[in-house]
Amino acid sequence: MKQLEDKVQHRINTLCKELTQISETHQDHVIGQVTVRHLLGGMRGLKAMVCNTSFVDPHQGLFISGYSVPEFEDRTPEEIFFLLCTGSFPTSSELAELKEELQKRAEVPPYVWNMLRSLPKETHPMTMFSLAILCMEGESVFKKKYLEGIPKSDFWRYTLEDALNLIAKLPSLAAGIYRILFMSGNLIEPDPELDLAGNFTRMLGINNKDKSFADLIRLYLVLHCDHEGGNVSAFTARVVNSALSNIYYATSAGLNGLAGPLHGLANQVCLHFITQIHEQLGLEASKEKIRKYLYNTLDSGNVIPGYGHAVLRETDPRFTSFMGFGEKHCSDSPYFKTVKKLFEVTPPILKEYKGGKIANPWPNVDAISGSLLYHYGMIHFDFYTVMFGLSRTLGFCAQNIIARGLNQPIIRPKSITNQGLKGLTKGL
């Protein structure tokens, strides 16, 4: 993996030089104010860390190393991981090297399968995914090398080693969990001729005759790969790894954050909402009936799932990308049709509801992703978060490889008591 290592080393050197210059000349420069709103509101919007793998613009959406969604949506997960780590897309030679590295690291240890099969059948698939990754922590190369006394300058190299070993196993692991929980339990062997997304689709063992399903899986894994550094899962993984806990610990922790209803479960909540519409209004409900249903939902104190975002203030470009896929491949699906109708009627309602107080009336990626998966036969809602986690691990790993290369310190913000807060605000 020399080509990848060389590119990562170059990026680390470049970023380190930039940060050194900024630190030397602007170390005490004030970036912004910390308000009581930040302290009591989950630190939302507070600029408190540096992340170079991705950035979310409120109006243009996700950028991966400077590339917008339309510029990377046709790529593969392997290409995206290379982009996250290096800041550039791989050449054909670099991509071939990366694929070869992942292929030879892909076998999941037998003890992992034994552990997963021993769990109760009602275990959530995300719990199984997190446990399986944590179970492999003893495989960590970083852990072994750290105990041998490697210099800090090599921390990133063995974090990269761990990342490649982990990412290579994720398609087999995720697909195996699906088959253990929801199918016969028999595992499907990977095909060395297929890439990461293609193998994952093959090993799931559903809808393999429809080539567009494999393309949907590829698109899903690409669009969910990273979303800057402050979201719950990425930030959790960064905090854990900042203590030099290896990538297995960090990824498992990040996935546990992703499993929450306010983060990774959002797509299945959106799909459940659409299912409720179909149950109550029928598969071909008119826009007028849906409009009334939405008003009733808002009047009862509930939100419209899939609409609004912590950062975005326009339609999520990832939603737009999935919409394009749906128009091309499954325009007759009742679920896709309902997604389209919701897109047409929901924003105008949210813009005017109770004086238009909703900051962002536009859809995010979760408003559509689950419906597309369901159309292709992936009907087990609980598994969607595992797919999200498979993709987002690419971002976890890349962020921490770079963080270790920059020798970033342990993340340790200062907390304050109510009494201390009263003291700070006294007299204002």
**Residue 296 corresponds to which tokens in the numbers above?**
């009733």
Adjacent-strand bridge partners of 68:
63
From 224, 227, 309, 329, the catalytic residue: 309
Q: Is 224 an active-site residue?
A: no
263 catalytic? Reply is: yes
Is 361:350 a contact under the CB 8 Å cutoff? yes
Three-class HEC string of the chain: CHHHHHHHHHHHHHHHHHHHHHHHHHCCCCCCCCCHHHHHCCCCCCCCCCCCCEEEECCCEEEECCEEHHHHCCCCHHHHHHHHHHCCCCCHHHHHHHHHHHHHCCCCCHHHHHHHHHCCCCCCHHHHHHHHHHHHHHHCHHHHHHHHCCCHHHHHHHHHHHHHHHHHHHHHHHHHHHHHHHCCCCCCCCCCCCCHHHHHHHHHCCCCCCHHHHHHHHHHHHHCCCCCCCCHHHHHHHHHHHCCCCHHHHHHHHHHHHCCCCCCCHHHHHHHHHHHHHHHHCCCCCHHHHHHHHHHHHHCCCCCCCECCCCCCCCCHHHHHHHHHHHHHCCCCHHHHHHHHHHHHHHHHHHHHHHCCCCCCCECCHHHHHHHHHHCCCCCHHHHHHHHHHHHHHHHHHHHHHHHHCCCCCCCCCCCCHHHHHHHHCCC
Give the C-alpha separation, 396 to 8, whole Å: 15
Q: Which of 118, 220, 228, 123 lies closest to 171 in space, CA to CA?
A: 220
Determine the Cα–Cα distance for residues 80 and 224; give it in Å rounded to an integer: 11
| Catalytic, out of 38, 124, 263, 380 | 263
Comparing C-alpha atoms, which of 7, 248, 2 is closest to residue 142? 248
Q: Are 382 and 358 in contact (CB under 8 A)?
A: no
Residue 136: name the closest of 248, 256, 245, 237 by CA. 248
Residue in 195, 226, 316, 366 annotated catalytic: 366
Which residues are the active-site residues? Answer: 263, 309, 366
